[in-house]
């Protein structure tokens, strides 16, 4: 069973050990959970005067712990790296003083100089974005609760049980709209353009959940992506399977 109180004590120790001027890079996944997690961590740190220099994501088809991704992280010359929603593996980020991993997948190891904060194994089913929200909330950083909820809805829906404060947040913002925003974020990675910049900008520009429901260039673009994905899914639903003998 996930022990939030115990994990939060260690998380607070790790955050307190980071000097405010140290260069921080965040590396996150590209789905609704990952983008929400990356933006939530970015905002929580920036709003508490930490020196976040970049938020990065793997390119289409890249593994989050591939040499190419690690290379791009190291090009930013970070002192501290946050890795969210990308799993946990035994890899090396040369020259990085501290690596903080926030994740919910089964770990395959921990990076050198790394500390893993995980909600694995479930239950409860807590996504990386929602775990990020819980951790920063427990140390008094006032993270954006709606970003945690978007990530949770994107990975596990709106009916999961025993997730702290989740039901209250869903009532506050309405399940329908949390789910809708999650679907917009996911649409950006499902199109050929793989437009994670727009989904990131959409969330980054939101100070309140209502900002995500207001018309904007980013929202309009994501709505278009969502319709394209829906049309493609509907098209494949209409395609009749071809049979060869007894096999489809």
Q: Which residue has the tokens 């190291």?
A: 74
**Statement: residue 246 has pLDDT above 60:** no
Domains and CATH numbers, the chain: 4-232 (3.90.1640.30)
Per the CB < 8 A criterion, the answer to whether 154 and 31 are in contact is: yes
What per-residue confidence (pLDDT) applies to 99? 98
Range 152-170 average pLDDT: 98
d(CA 68, CA 149): 31
**Statement: residue 166 has pLDDT above 90:** yes
Range 7-31 average pLDDT: 98
**Statement: residue 102 has pLDDT above 80:** yes
The share of the chain scoring above pLDDT 90, in percent, equals 92
Cβ contacts of 173-179, under 8 Å, gap ≥ 24: 173/146, 173/149, 173/209, 177/209, 177/212, 177/213, 178/146, 178/149, 178/150, 178/153, 179/153
Range 121-131 average pLDDT: 97
3-state secondary structure of 25: strand
Q: 235 falls in which pLDDT band (50, 70, 90)?
A: confident
d(CA 13, CA 16): 5
**pTM, whole model, 2 decimals?**
0.93
Tell me the two tokens of residue 219. 């929202």
**What confidence tens digit (pLDDT) does each residue in 178-195 have?**
999 999 999 999 999 999
């Amino acid at each position: 069973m996930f022990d939030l109180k115990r994990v939060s004590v260690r998380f607070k120790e790790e955050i307190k050990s980071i000097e405010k001027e140290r260069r921080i890079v965040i590396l996150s996944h590209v789905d609704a959970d990952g983008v929400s997690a990356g933006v939530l961590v970015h905002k929580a740190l920036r709003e508490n005067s930490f020196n976040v220099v970049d938020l990065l994501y793997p390119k289409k088809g890249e593994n989050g712990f591939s040499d190419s991704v690690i290379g791009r992280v190291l090009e930013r010359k970070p002192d501290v790296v946050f890795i969210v929603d990308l799993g946990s593996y035994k890899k090396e980020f040369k020259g990085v003083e501290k690596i903080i991993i926030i994740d919910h997948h089964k770990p395959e190891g921990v990076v050198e100089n790394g500390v893993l904060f995980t909600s694995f194994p479930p239950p409860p089913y807590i996504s990386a974005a929602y775990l990020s929200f819980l951790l920063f909330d427990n140390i008094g950083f006032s993270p954006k609760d709606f970003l945690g909820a978007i990530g949770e809805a994107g990975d596990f829906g709106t009916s999961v049980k025993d997730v702290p404060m989740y039901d209250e947040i869903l009532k506050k913002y309405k399940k329908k709209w949390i789910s809708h925003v999650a679907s917009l974020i996911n649409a950006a990675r499902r199109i050929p353009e793989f437009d994670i910049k727009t989904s990131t900008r959409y969330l980054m520009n939101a100070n309140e959940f209502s900002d995500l429901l207001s018309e904007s260039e980013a929202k309009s673009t994501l709505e278009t992506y969502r319709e394209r994905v829906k049309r493609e899914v509907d098209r494949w639903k209409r395609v009749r399977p071809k049979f060869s003998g007894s096999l489809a």
